[in-house]
Structure 1
Amino acid sequence: MFIGVDLGGTNIAVGIVDETSKLRYQKSKLTRNERKPEEIIKDITDLITEVIKDFGIINEEIEAIGIGIPGLADPKTGDVIECVNLNWRKVPLKKPIEKALGIPVFIDNDATLAGLAEYEAGAMKNKKSGVFMTLGTGIGGGIIIDGKIYTGANGVGSEIGHMIVGENDYDCNCGRNGCLETFASSIALINYTKKLMNEENSETIMTEKLNGDINNLDGKIIFHAAIRGDELANKAVDRLVKYLAIGIMNITSIIDPEVFVLGGGISKAGTFLVDKVRAEVLKNKYFKTLPVGNIVLAKLSNEAGIIGAAMLGKHNV
């Protein structure tokens, strides 16, 4: 058995996962990220202990603990390098939990581990290589090559949201201009749609859902309008698709994976999104006679974080 911990800015989720990647039991609690790291780490340790006890096993039956964090981790030391959502910087995470529980602990980025989950039990299963792209507030990535996680020498190899794909009219939170997530994340989609609504006089059915306040706009409203044929909404979605396709082709030119898996909130647009992205990628591929990795939707949804973290433990013991 393995323990998976999905540490987020809002919730800490802990689960028991078996050898076949099946989530057997889980429990969660609020992160309360205004607290000191030591307090949150104690909560993680206590919650792991509760889950083991509730499931009716003992620590010795757990082979490893994996933890996914919404930031950068040093896979060698198990320290959190930086985690903006938690206001953590250079925080030891592996050592205090190992000391408290006597179980090996492994740390990595949460999007990377969601990719590992899709490799073990989801849309990448039975593939040798794949790239998971989580399209949410930002864009995260999980790269699997020959069945192994790839994060590079310094743990930033899967930060695909920060590849430069163009010049934008605002800078990314990382301080640079033109990052993929400033074109193809949910925030980017909302910002650009607001811009179009403010600058253009064309009618849009999106106003029906806003109750007079443009700040009520969200990705669901935009995609729902686009599916219904709204011109302005489709203009915004097509821009997102254009830059997402550029990102996919950039990755293809370096890794050439068998499959691209789209997850996160934007992926809830389903086949409408996938069909558009596939068409844009095929239109712009540079080796015209060669195939490009298949573009599919993620399968595991909210369970991916826990399963991927647990499988990190499995891959390391």
Structure 2
Amino acid sequence: MKYYIGIDLGGMSAKGAIFGEDGALIVKKSVVTQPEDGFEGTVDKMAGLCKELAADAKTSMKNVEAIGMAVPGYIDVATGVVVRWANFGWAKVPLGEKMKEKTGVATIKMSNDANVAALGEAKFGAGKDYGSCLMVTLGTGVGGGIIIDGKLMEGYMSAGAEIGHMVICEGGALCTCGRHGCLEAYASATALIRLTKWKMELDCSTKMWEIAGGKLENVDGKTAFSAARAGDMRGKEVVDEYVEHLAVGLANLANVLRPEAILLGGGVSNEGEYLFAPLRTAVEKKLYTSVEFVPLKIEKAALGNDAGIWGAFALAKGL
């Protein structure tokens, strides 16, 4: 029997799973990662994780057909080189070759972690019934990936699909990338928290103060939504502004790519229909072609933190 391993490398852990040829997830586990491990140490941990997964599945690495990897940063998928991963200080490191050497598996496939998560969601999650879909993750930043006609679209040298860095407001808010007006500067959870605090400072009577226990440092991505649900005007202002900014980005993506569905993940997506219902309305108003003629679904992603390992499996198996 052939096996496939999916690895999702992150700044605090590397999650892994071993799959059967039929796509059944057999075992999953993780190891701690940290910058202090260095490149070689991190590779050793991931290779060790692969061997543990094989042993737990009661097989050996010689029966592993391929390993797929979701890796942060800028990845040259053709060579398996991590061109740059700032958080770990990696620059032009031969991750693919090192994993081949340490695991004995000849086929190592990898891509940027956001792209791989989108692939997992498209193949096995909320997007499995759509040929073309986008995934947009609303977390500390805004990430995502593009699947068109069942294929992951990465752009030249795999440097595309930077959804969060689409400019939606020329000369607008400063983004973490150093530019101004990026979608991430308006639609990330970080941006939502910043907007919430600003509205609170304008109005000492808003219910958001009560929800935050009277302290700005307690504000999170849920604060404004909770207040809005309770009928608070300032909370509703925050939600309305946030939805409008996000809708601009999603409508731009839809007008250019026209997927069947846009799938939202990350913490903010947990607000459910209180977010999704007004968002659909706002996006529809900005579409060039009405959903009456070309339908567009906007739905919550389904796989959560496991999207990366499922996408890595899809990479490994060539799905």
Which letter maps to 2:5? I
- Aligned-pair Cα RMSD in Å: 1.7
Distance change in 2, residues 1:19/1:277 (3 Å):
farther
State how 1:1-317 maps to structure 2 within 5 Å.
1-103=3-105, 104-167=107-170, 170-198=173-201, 200-201=202-203, 203-288=205-290, 290-315=293-318
- Per-residue deviation, residues 99-145 of structure 1 (Å, max 9, x unmatched): 12121111111121111111111111121100011110111111111
TM-score where L is the length of structure 2:
0.93
In 2, Cα distance between equivalents of 1:264 and 1:75: 25
User: C-alpha displacement at 1:230, in angstroms?
Assistant: 2.2
Conserved? CA contact 1:261–1:296, under 8 Å: yes
TM-score where L is the length of structure 1:
0.94
- Per-residue deviation, residues 43-96 of structure 1 (Å, max 9, x unmatched): 111111111111211112222111112222111111112223323222221110
- Per-residue deviation, residues 175-209 of structure 1 (Å, max 9, x unmatched): 211110100000010011111212x1252222223
Q: 2:98 is paired with a residue of what secondary structure?
A: helix
User: C-alpha displacement at 1:20, in angstroms?
Assistant: 4.6
- Per-residue deviation, residues 267-306 of structure 1 (Å, max 9, x unmatched): 1111211112101011222334533521000111121111
In 2, Cα distance between equivalents of 1:83 and 1:184: 23
Q: 2:99 is paired with a residue of what secondary structure?
A: helix
Conserved? CA contact 2:211–2:227, under 8 Å: no
In 2, Cα distance between equivalents of 1:299 and 1:13: 18
Greater mean alpha carbon deviation, residues 174-183 or residues 86-95 = 86-95
- Per-residue deviation, residues 217-268 of structure 1 (Å, max 9, x unmatched): 1102232222223222221222221121111111122211011000111111
Q: 1:5 is paired with a residue of what secondary structure?
A: strand
Identity %: 40
| Structure 1, unpaired ranges of 5+ | none
